[in-house]
């Protein structure tokens, strides 16, 4: 059995792996300089104070820079996102959420909010509108950078201080936080790993066990997925930790996750219209102008692209105005011809960002815009264009937004909810994930079959569970590379790159079967795979085709299959409980009947205990724990 795992670049020479698979932080496909983004001048857009009014409900009380007297139409849900459903049940909590761009802008707005409640009697200044026994307030930061945990840490501190004042009329500290954050983010050379603060892939793996890989493959299929859990911070942390397993997704892959197509446009085709080309090429006019100035490029009438999208000019005439290489690319996509070397075009037409590696400071990995998806991607095509063209990501969805699940302009979504009413709308989702019980409730029976893990998949995910579990038990996660957050994400990066390489070997059914032939076939029909497959990916020549854990069957594989089956099914969990109770009963009976018979029974008990312990360690914490023999 071949165990091919991602390693540091220093180990690449010894293992034969390409060093580009992982950088020195283990963070795939990210900016070396976080400020190489269009919103570099002011990463934090607004700081907002939301309160709960006993008659009007959640409402914005203060915003800086001002958003009042009326919120933008696109942000009407902001008060309900910052003060989630059931917030009154918790003394304090935090939430991540996404907002669509305002009219005339582009890119997802990333929101982080921290809320608390305080007894009315403790307030130094009590307004006339305070009529309830407690007062709820939430402070939210709206940013164009996905700095979830980083901003949360700042917000938690300022929220504590704000409530300790016991006087909510002082807004100076909120303005100061806004200015300080923009000053530091706009001037400092931030480590890209800051985008992963608070997104624990290790906790996700240790909680879901084998099912982590099923969730990973589920996102690839672009289905309608609902995550359910309370409190809300655990919910949004789970959703974003899962997405952080996808190379480059947090840094670049969510820019279009809140941009829905207008009604009436086709959602089933690869986005090859010139509107898609223009939006990807000219996503931000000021950014393009800065690029032209920096790289001395020929603008070839950039303004024409922007104006033609607005006035709906004839498509063919607009293609003719593109430079030769661009027109060739567009024509090739429209006709479905051979793959186009997008990377080759992008080098001459788009900004290049340097990403250093651990032992190769002079090595560079290029990030360039893909005109088909509008996302920045690395030489492997990461991140995949999953959350684009009508596939949405909402880590938290308020009850007031429930209508979005039935929106015809959405072809799918990954959303999180705390209100049980969402789970009752089964016709609006393909699968509901109960995070607390680690259960997937399929509303499409065929989807369960597609996500069934193969033997090679089970070897892979069990290998990860074992090493991450050992690192957690030994408390060495902060010092050891193996079993760390970066190591874990690097393993999923290799898994995905190996899967992509294998799909190019379409005539080798044996290699594809290790990933699940039905799954691969379904994935190849998705939007994200078709966009990826259009371009030539010469960098993948360094990635070996085939599953990283392919090999012959063994007795260990039987144990893995049993562990996985027991974790997934209700009957399996009942069997686990039965084994646990039987083990305890046998042990107690052995003590009662004496040494001769007791020795035999004790051996049987040991066998049961060993089997259950193996199943629990391989599958995660969602199975019943082994009972105490003394209980």
How high is the pLDDT of residue 311? 38
Q: State the chain's mean pLDDT as an integer.
A: 74
Structure tokens of 113? Answer: 């909010």
Among 140-144, 174-178, 347-351, 568-572, name the one with the lowest average pLDDT: 347-351
**Residue 148 Cα distances to 21, 30, 232, angstroms:** 25, 16, 14
Residue 416 has pLDDT above 60, yes or no: yes
Residue 293 has pLDDT above 70, yes or no: no
* Stretch 297-319: mean pLDDT: 34
Most confident of 30-39, 116-125, 508-517: 508-517
Q: How far is CA 270 from the centre of its chain?
A: 22
Dist CA 305 CA 286 (whole Å): 14
Q: Quickly state the pLDDT bin for 581 (edges 50, 70, 90).
A: low
* Stretch 420-447: mean pLDDT: 92
Characterize the bridge pairing of strands 92-99 and 109-119: antiparallel
Q: Quickly state the pLDDT bin for 261 (edges 50, 70, 90).
A: low
Dist CA 357 CA 18 (whole Å): 12
Residues 6+ apart with CB under 8 A from 259: 100, 101, 106, 108, 388
Structure tokens of 116? Answer: 């608390």
Residue 549 has pLDDT above 70, yes or no: yes
Structure tokens of 402? Answer: 């429930």
Using CA atoms of 183, 187, 193, 196 in order, give the dihedral in degrees to the nearest 10: 20
Dist CA 194 CA 468 (whole Å): 21
Over the Cα atoms of the chain, what is R_g? 26
Structure tokens of 170? Answer: 């002082």
**Residue 376 Cα distances to 104, 276, 294, 410, 531, angstroms:** 21, 14, 18, 22, 13
Dist CA 156 CA 143 (whole Å): 16
Among 210-214, 543-547, 581-585, name the one with the lowest average pLDDT: 581-585
How high is the pLDDT of residue 85? 85
* Stretch 119-139: mean pLDDT: 77
How high is the pLDDT of residue 364? 35
How high is the pLDDT of residue 528? 96
Give which of 509, 517, 501 is closest to 452, Cα–Cα.
Answer: 517
Structure tokens of 276? Answer: 């898609």
Give Dmax (Cα) for the chain. Answer: 93
Give which of 319, 323, 372 is closest to 343, Cα–Cα.
Answer: 372
Please name the helix (run of DSSP H) or strand (run of DSSP E) that holds residue 503, with its range, or none: helix 485-503
- The answer to whether 622 touches 567, Cβ cutoff 8 Å, is yes
Degrees to nearest 5, angle at CA 529 with 523 and 533: 130
Q: Quickly state the pLDDT bin for 473 (edges 50, 70, 90).
A: confident
Dist CA 77 CA 311 (whole Å): 30
Among 208-222, 486-500, 563-577, name the one with the lowest average pLDDT: 563-577
**In the chain, what percentage of residues exceed pLDDT 70?**
64
**In the chain, what percentage of residues exceed pLDDT 90?**
42
Beta bridge partners of 415: 226, 394
Residue 271 has pLDDT above 80, yes or no: no
How high is the pLDDT of residue 329? 34
**Residue 332 Cα distances to 149, 266, 336, 339, 343, angstroms:** 42, 20, 6, 8, 15
Residue 359 has pLDDT above 70, yes or no: no
How high is the pLDDT of residue 11? 43
Residue 282 has pLDDT above 50, yes or no: no
Residue 484 has pLDDT above 60, yes or no: yes
Give which of 584, 614, 616 is closest to 601, Cα–Cα.
Answer: 584
Q: Quickly list DSSP for 280-298.
A: HHTS-HHHHHHHHHHHT--
How high is the pLDDT of residue 46? 95
Residue 274 has pLDDT above 50, yes or no: no
Q: Using one digit for the tens of pLDDT, what is the confidence trace for 434-443?
A: 999 999 999 9
Residue 176 has pLDDT above 90, yes or no: yes
| More confident call, 470 vs 104 | 470
How high is the pLDDT of residue 347? 31
Instruction: Give the other-Cβ count within 10 Å of 470's Cβ.
Output: 14
How high is the pLDDT of residue 552? 80
Most confident of 161-170, 452-461, 596-605: 452-461
Residue 283 has pLDDT above 50, yes or no: no
Residue 9 has pLDDT above 50, yes or no: no
Q: Quickly state the pLDDT bin for 28 (edges 50, 70, 90).
A: very low
Dist CA 391 CA 407 (whole Å): 11
How high is the pLDDT of residue 78? 95
Dist CA 578 CA 435 (whole Å): 24
Residue 266 has pLDDT above 50, yes or no: no
Give which of 409, 446, 448, 407 is closest to 428, Cα–Cα.
Answer: 407
Structure tokens of 443? Answer: 């509303």
How high is the pLDDT of residue 128? 65
Give which of 142, 149, 234 is closest to 193, Cα–Cα.
Answer: 149
How high is the pLDDT of residue 478? 55
* Stretch 407-428: mean pLDDT: 91
* Stretch 207-230: mean pLDDT: 96
pTM listed for this prediction:
0.75
How high is the pLDDT of residue 69? 83
Dist CA 280 CA 309 (whole Å): 12
* Local structure of 211: helix, strand or coil: helix
* Local structure of 98: helix, strand or coil: strand
* Stretch 29-52: mean pLDDT: 67
How high is the pLDDT of residue 409? 86
Q: Using one digit for the tens of pLDDT, what is the confidence trace for 489-504?
A: 999 999 999 999 999 9
Whether omega before 377 lies within 30 degrees of 0, making that bond cis, reads no
Q: Quickly state the pLDDT bin for 167 (edges 50, 70, 90).
A: confident
Q: Using one digit for the tens of pLDDT, what is the confidence trace for 507-516?
A: 888 999 999 9
Residue 86 has pLDDT above 70, yes or no: yes
Residue 539 has pLDDT above 60, yes or no: yes
Give which of 193, 177, 169 is closest to 143, Cα–Cα.
Answer: 177
Q: Using one digit for the tens of pLDDT, what is the confidence trace for 335-349?
A: 333 454 444 433 333
- The answer to whether 243 touches 204, Cβ cutoff 8 Å, is no
How high is the pLDDT of residue 584? 59
Alpha helices in 135-273 (DSSP H): 148-164, 172-187, 201-208, 211-220, 232-243, 249-252
Among 28-37, 107-116, 142-151, 562-571, name the one with the lowest average pLDDT: 28-37
Residue 408 has pLDDT above 80, yes or no: yes
Q: Quickly state the pLDDT bin for 118 (edges 50, 70, 90).
A: confident
Most confident of 6-15, 274-283, 384-393: 384-393
């Amino acid at each position: 059995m071949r165990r091919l795992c991602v390693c540091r670049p220093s180990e690449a020479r010894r293992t034969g792996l390409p060093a580009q698979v992982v950088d020195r932080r283990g963070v795939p496909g990210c900016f070396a300089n976080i400020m190489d983004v269009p919103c570099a001048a002011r990463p934090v857009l607004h700081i907002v104070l939301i309160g709960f009014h006993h008659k009007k409900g959640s409402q914005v009380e203060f915003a800086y820079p001002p958003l009042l007297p009326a919120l933008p139409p696109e942000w009407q849900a902001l008060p309900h996102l910052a003060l989630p459903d059931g917030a009154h049940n918790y003394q304090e909590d935090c939430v991540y959420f996404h907002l669509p761009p305002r009219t005339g802008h582009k890119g997802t707005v990333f929101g982080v909010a921290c809320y608390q409640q305080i007894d009315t009697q403790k307030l130094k200044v009590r307004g006339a509108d305070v009529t309830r026994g407690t007062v709820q307030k939430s402070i939210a930061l709206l940013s164009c950078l996905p700095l979830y945990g980083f901003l949360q840490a700042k917000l938690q501190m300022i929220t504590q201080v704000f409530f300790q004042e016991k006087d909510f009329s002082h807004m100076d500290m909120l303005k100061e936080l806004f200015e300080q954050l923009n000053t530091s983010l706009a001037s400092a050379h931030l480590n890209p790993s800051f985008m992963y603060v608070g997104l624990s892939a290790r906790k996700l793996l240790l909680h879901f066990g084998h099912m982590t890989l099923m969730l990973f493959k589920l996102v690839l299929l672009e289905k309608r997925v609902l995550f359910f859990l309370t409190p809300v911070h655990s919910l949004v942390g789970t959703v974003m930790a899962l997405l952080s397993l996808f190379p480059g997704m947090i840094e670049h892959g969510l820019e279009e996750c809140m941009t829905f197509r207008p009604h009436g446009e086709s959602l089933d085709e690869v986005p090859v219209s010139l509107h898609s080309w223009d939006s990807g090429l000219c996503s931000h006019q000021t950014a393009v102008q800065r690029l032209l100035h920096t790289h001395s490029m020929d603008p070839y009438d950039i303004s024409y692209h922007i104006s033609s999208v607005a006035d709906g000019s004839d498509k063919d005439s607009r293609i003719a105005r593109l430079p030769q290489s661009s027109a060739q690319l567009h024509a090739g996509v429209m006709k479905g011809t051979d793959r186009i070397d997008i990377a080759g075009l992008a080098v001459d037409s788009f900004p290049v960002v340097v990403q250093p590696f651990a032992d190769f400071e002079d090595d560079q990995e290029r990030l360039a815009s893909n005109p088909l998806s509008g996302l920045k991607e690395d030489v492997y095509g990461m991140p995949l264009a999953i959350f684009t063209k009508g596939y949405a990501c909402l880590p938290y969805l308020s009850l007031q937004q429930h209508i979005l699940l039935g929106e015809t302009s959405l072809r799918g979504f990954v959303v999180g909810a705390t209100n049980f009413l969402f789970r009752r709308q089964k016709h609006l989702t393909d699968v509901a994930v109960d995070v607390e019980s680690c259960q997937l409730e399929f509303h499409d029976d065929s989807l369960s079959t597609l996500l069934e893990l193969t033997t090679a998949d089970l070897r892979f995910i069990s290998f990860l569970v074992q090493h991450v579990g050992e690192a957690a038990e030994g408390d060495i996660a902060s010092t050891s590379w193996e079993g760390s957050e970066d190591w874990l994400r690097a393993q999923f990066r290799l898994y995905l790159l190996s899967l992509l390489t294998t799909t190019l070997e379409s005539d080798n059914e044996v290699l594809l079967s290790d990933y699940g032939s039905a799954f691969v076939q379904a994935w190849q029909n998705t939007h994200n795979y078709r966009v990826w497959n259009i371009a030539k990916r010469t960098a993948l020549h360094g990635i070996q085709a085939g599953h990283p854990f392919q090999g012959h069957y063994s007795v260990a594989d039987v144990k893995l299959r049993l562990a996985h089956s027991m974790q997934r099914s209700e009957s399996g969990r009942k069997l686990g409980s039965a084994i646990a109770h039987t083990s305890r009963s046998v042990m107690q009976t052995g003590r009662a009947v004496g040494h001769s018979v007791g020795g035999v029974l004790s051996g049987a008990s040991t066998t049961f205990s060993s089997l259950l312990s193996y199943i629990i360690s391989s599958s995660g914490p969602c199975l019943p724990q082994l009972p105490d023999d003394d209980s």
